[in-house]
Structure 1
Amino acid sequence: MENQAFQIGKASLLTKQSMGEPKQLTSSIVILVLATNIVYISNMLNLVTYLHDRMHADIASSSTMVTNFVGATCAFALLGGFLSDSYISRFKTMLIFGPIEFLGLASLALQAHLPSLQPPKCDTVNEWNSCKKMSNLDASILYLSLYTVALGEGCLRSSMASFGGDQFDENDPIESQQKSSFFNWYTFDKSLGGLLGLIFIVRIENNKGWDYGFGVSALVILFGLVSVASSFSFYRIQRPRGSPLTRLLQVIVAAFKKRKLSLPENTDDLHQLDIKEETFGMEVLSHASGLEFLDKAAISHGSTGAWSLSTVSQVEETKIIIRMLPIFLSSLSCYICNPLLVIFTVQQGNTMNTKLGKIHISPTSLVIIPLTFQIIFLVLYDSLFTPFARKFIGYRTGITQLQRISVGIISMSLGMCVAALVERKRKRVA
């Protein structure tokens, strides 16, 4: 793979030797990852406070609005992934949707700054019943701004990690090892961004004002986008190869259409394009046993359209995705806990004494605790555990990805058990 070609800049193709090192190529991506998490995590966690104290929404409505906002961000990530895989590159996806997030934050800052676009200020603690609620215009601007941020953040989120991974050649032993390390540090940057956001952005919003907080957030996003755009000429940009979900559906539909046909005795008779004919960057996969009913999609019989005839590579790709479903479904348990962390922890903190001596910790800033532990763990894992495990186990990333997922799921389950015990005691004391 010494002369593997990548798309660089607008359209030219250069060999690996003429490009920058992957670590250099990912440095500006890391800055954008840091910027987006400084902004998103801090504002997401502090949003309940803003909606209740400044926009005069009750706690239940505020919590619902935030969970809907988080859900919309995740849904828009699917849209961004589909667009970047099928029609535009991941780099263009970031350049298109990054400014959209910037505009959403700027709109929130403008609404927080102009008294005419928000309810009159009042004491939400002692005079809640007399506080004027949001007008239809106020609510419309708020919702439009929030979901503009969700659209930009979701589509950015779907591209940043995979675009960083594109800078490494999986077939190069050295770069393959660096790629695994990159994703460790990608997670580190997400946690560090959240930590910095909770320290600085939340402090600005609580002490200087929400307009300052949202305005600074918009500038942080802009800085990250400029950083990524400045290295445009050096990136390894993968051409769009179509959405894996589309190819999966094509294989399933083609296999269903040919469900009554018999498989050939020789699997070499199944439809497979020549390597030279394969789509640029697509790996040619050999036939493997298992899930034989999908092999019927590659039987050459009648129509040759994309929804009637699939290649062996497409069939094997579909098998891989189906085999990963148990891992995917089990991993959902970790993300189900996130809304509790976002909404419930802040509300818990509002009812508890969050002072450490003379230091008062904002309820929103309580999330600093798990973020700090995550940062420390990632540094120790990548710097100490992985080299140690690689030496004794022989696996290039220390332990397998599946083992890492298992440890994560078990840890999350134990954490939620502890959280349940803490909440039980809190309710007893309250």
Structure 2
Amino acid sequence: MAKVTDGQPGEVILDEEESTPPFTHVGRKRGGWITFPFVTVAILGLTVGSAGWAANIIVFLITKFNFMSIDAAQVSNIVNGSSNFVPIFAAIMADSFFGNFSVIVVSSIISLMGLILFMLTVTIPSLRPLECALNVTGSSSATCEAASALQLAVLYLSITLSALGLGGTRYTIATMGADQFEKPKDQESFFNWYFFSLYVGSIIGAVGIVYIQDNVGWDWGVGICLVANLVALVVLLVGKRYYRRVELEKSPYKSLARVFVAAIQKRKVSTSPETRTFYHGSSDVVSVQPSPPSSSLRFLNHAALKTEGDTNEDGTIAKEWNLCTVQQVEDLKTIIKIIPLWLSSFLISIPIGVQISLAVPQALRMDRHIGTKFQVPAGSFLVSTLLAMAIFITIVDRFVMPTYQKLRCRPLTPLQRVGIGHVLTIAGMAASAIVERKRLSIVWSKNLTSSTSAVTMSAFWLVLPLALVGVGEAFHFPGQVSLYYQEFPVSLRSTSTAMISLLVAVGFYLSTAMIDIVRRSTGWLPNNINQGRLDNMFWLLVVIGVFNFGYFIVCSVLYKYQNVADSDEN
């Protein structure tokens, strides 16, 4: 029979005669590949529904709500930040209280409500200000009507609900899908299909639906997003009878808090080798020779010191806020040690957020034609990063990693992959600066600084810097996922993957703040970017990236892996 240790939430100890995973089985066998179509269609539908409006939100704000270019970029940053900030809370809710399925369903309904409001905004003229044609390029005009308080309230509410729903499903549905399989090989296969579905859905939304919005109508584009979200929700509910549910364990976050509280309460207890006795758990769950806690962050070791009255006669903890297991102490230490590396990733997210925000206004001021009739939507250029990332993730996994291991006789570590991502992101910012300087040179040579027309330079020059950042993400994004997943305690692995989303969220928020600071203190980012110096903005990001890379190198040298080596061997 499976037992859960009192001192180590989430750890399952199995008796020799039985090896049943901690899943609930009601009636017939649940889970397995029969659930794959339902989960995959849900992933695809939710991704299409969210990418279709998110990829083109800047253009919508400029053309339909008369926003200035930089203001629209700021709103886009906040939207992207919010949708990437929510997953950490969704993971906590799923792991500790409600389970993945309930969180996904509620989040899908919230997203659907947001899209319904968005649909009302694009179909009811009174919910939008009168359009200002000159604002397509971000220039100011006295004839442009500002949105009313009611119009902005409906708009922001629809965007907020859509962003919350997107964030609540993004990572929890991946965890629920993997929970349907018992074999690691099947789980790995599912994750491959998860990312494939994510990329396909994002490309459909960022290219197909954006094209429909720009050339057919926003009502059709948003309508397709709404239908995709609805189909995903229905398919997800239809498959409910087949899903395997993971039983919730005690909250791992409470265990971490207990370590802090117990360590403070016992800060004056002696830790001398002659008197100390550390608690490893009740006798029925301790099956190996116990070892003392590590010497690093020794203050936290007080939480595992046994004193009179801490345990019951059967060896269990009498007062849970007075005593913790050694393993719980080591779990908290692992998280604390990885925080400096985690912080270095915030600054790598800032340039990405700034580049995404400014690429659309750049594309609006450049030649986007293919041939004489077809014009690529400005929002679709952002798919360059996604495509580059999708392609190079496969190349890195199937070619770069095996080749490196053959040449160096050891695998490419997660930190090395993150470091390569840092370098490529810096290169992407430098390329953006060079492209923008070339665009501005054409503006200056033809005296277009006050013109509303686009320059003759092809917008496809933006693909190179966007693709460089995508290749960088192909290295540092999986590298960070691998690092956090392997190094975090087992009970926090669902949260460890959501930590990546939190990095992206904070990066978008910081990029918004950075744009605002630069906008207020310099003349680089006016409403008409033809009169500004976006190239200086990108060079500033290069300088910040170089300093951050130096900080990352220092943290990497000082960091010692806890589980990566063992994981690679397994």
* TM-score bracket for the superposition, by shorter chain length: 0.7 to 0.9
- 2:23 is the alignment partner of 1:7: yes
Amino acid at match of 1:331: S
Counterpart residue number, 2:85? 75
| SS at 1:300 equivalent | coil
| Partner Cα distance (1:184, 1:231) in 2 | 21
| Partner Cα distance (2:250, 2:79) in 1 | 28
Spell out, residue by residue over 1:338-375, the C-alpha distance to the aligned partner (whole angstroms, 9 max, x if none): 32243111011111122233342221111222222222
Deviation at 1:318, TM superposition (A): 1.1
| Partner Cα distance (1:426, 1:275) in 2 | 71
Deviation at 1:88, TM superposition (A): 0.8
Spell out, residue by residue over 1:382-410, the C-alpha distance to the aligned partner (whole angstroms, 9 max, x if none): 45556667888898xx6444443333333
Q: 1:25 to 1:313 in 2, by over 3 A?
A: farther
CA contact (8 A) 1:259 1:293 kept: yes
- 2:71 is the alignment partner of 1:55: no
Spell out, residue by residue over 1:43-66, the C-alpha distance to the aligned partner (whole angstroms, 9 max, x if none): 222111111211222223322222
Spell out, residue by residue over 1:219-273, the C-alpha distance to the aligned partner (whole angstroms, 9 max, x if none): 1122222333333233343233355444323322321222222236399942333
| Partner Cα distance (2:119, 2:186) in 1 | 40
Counterpart residue number, 1:29? 39
| Aligned pair partner of 1:355 in 366, 369, 374 | 369
| Aligned pair partner of 1:299 in 302, 305, 313 | 305
Spell out, residue by residue over 1:149-172, the C-alpha distance to the aligned partner (whole angstroms, 9 max, x if none): 122111112412333343455xxx
- 2:370 is the alignment partner of 1:364: no
| SS at 1:4 equivalent | coil
CA contact (8 A) 1:198 1:368 kept: yes
Q: 1:27 to 1:366 in 2, by over 3 A?
A: same
| Aligned pair partner of 1:377 in 386, 389, 392 | 392
| Aligned pair partner of 1:114 in 115, 120, 124 | 124
| Partner Cα distance (1:51, 1:228) in 2 | 32
| Aligned pair partner of 1:148 in 155, 158, 161 | 161
| Partner Cα distance (1:230, 1:286) in 2 | 49
Deviation at 1:276, TM superposition (A): 6.2
- 2:348 is the alignment partner of 1:338: no
| SS at 2:221 equivalent | helix
Counterpart residue number, 1:172? none
Amino acid at match of 1:375: A
| Aligned pair partner of 1:95 in 99, 102, 105 | 105
Q: Percent identity?
A: 28
Counterpart residue number, 1:405? 418
Alignment map for 1:152-163 (pairs within 5 Å): 152-163=165-176
| Partner Cα distance (1:70, 1:364) in 2 | 14
126-135 or 289-298: bigger deviation: 126-135
Q: 1:264 to 1:89 in 2, by over 3 A?
A: farther
138-147 or 235-244: bigger deviation: 235-244
- 2:170 is the alignment partner of 1:164: no
Q: 1:312 to 1:353 in 2, by over 3 A?
A: same
| SS at 2:248 equivalent | coil
| Partner Cα distance (2:292, 2:349) in 1 | 34
| Partner Cα distance (2:284, 2:156) in 1 | 50
- 2:245 is the alignment partner of 1:237: yes
| SS at 1:231 equivalent | helix
Q: 1:236 to 1:267 in 2, by over 3 A?
A: farther
| SS at 2:22 equivalent | strand
Counterpart residue number, 2:258? 250
Q: 1:110 to 1:20 in 2, by over 3 A?
A: same
Deviation at 1:217, TM superposition (A): 0.7
CA contact (8 A) 1:204 1:210 kept: yes
Counterpart residue number, 1:66? 76
CA contact (8 A) 1:102 1:221 kept: yes
- 2:141 is the alignment partner of 1:131: no
| Partner Cα distance (1:399, 1:53) in 2 | 47
Counterpart residue number, 1:282? none
CA contact (8 A) 1:56 1:124 kept: no
| Partner Cα distance (2:192, 2:340) in 1 | 23
Q: Which runs of 5+ in 2 are unaligned?
A: 1-13, 311-317, 444-570
| Partner Cα distance (2:385, 2:274) in 1 | 55
CA contact (8 A) 2:44 2:197 kept: yes
Counterpart residue number, 1:46? 56
Spell out, residue by residue over 1:1-28, the C-alpha distance to the aligned partner (whole angstroms, 9 max, x if none): 88332324xx7498xxx5544x554453
Q: Which runs of 5+ in 1 are unaligned?
A: 170-174, 279-284
| Partner Cα distance (1:108, 1:351) in 2 | 27
Number of residue equivalences? 412
124-133 or 305-314: bigger deviation: 124-133
| Partner Cα distance (2:175, 2:274) in 1 | 37
Q: 1:334 to 1:32 in 2, by over 3 A?
A: farther
| SS at 1:353 equivalent | coil
- 2:273 is the alignment partner of 1:260: no
CA contact (8 A) 1:44 1:342 kept: no
Amino acid at match of 1:206: D
Deviation at 1:103, TM superposition (A): 0.8
| Partner Cα distance (2:84, 2:367) in 1 | 33
Structure-2-length-normalised TM-score: 0.64
Counterpart residue number, 1:314? 328
CA contact (8 A) 2:364 2:378 kept: yes
126-135 or 315-324: bigger deviation: 126-135
| SS at 1:376 equivalent | helix
Q: 1:321 to 1:13 in 2, by over 3 A?
A: farther
| SS at 1:423 equivalent | helix
Amino acid at match of 1:226: V
| Partner Cα distance (1:426, 1:370) in 2 | 20
| Partner Cα distance (1:96, 1:76) in 2 | 13
Counterpart residue number, 1:273? 281
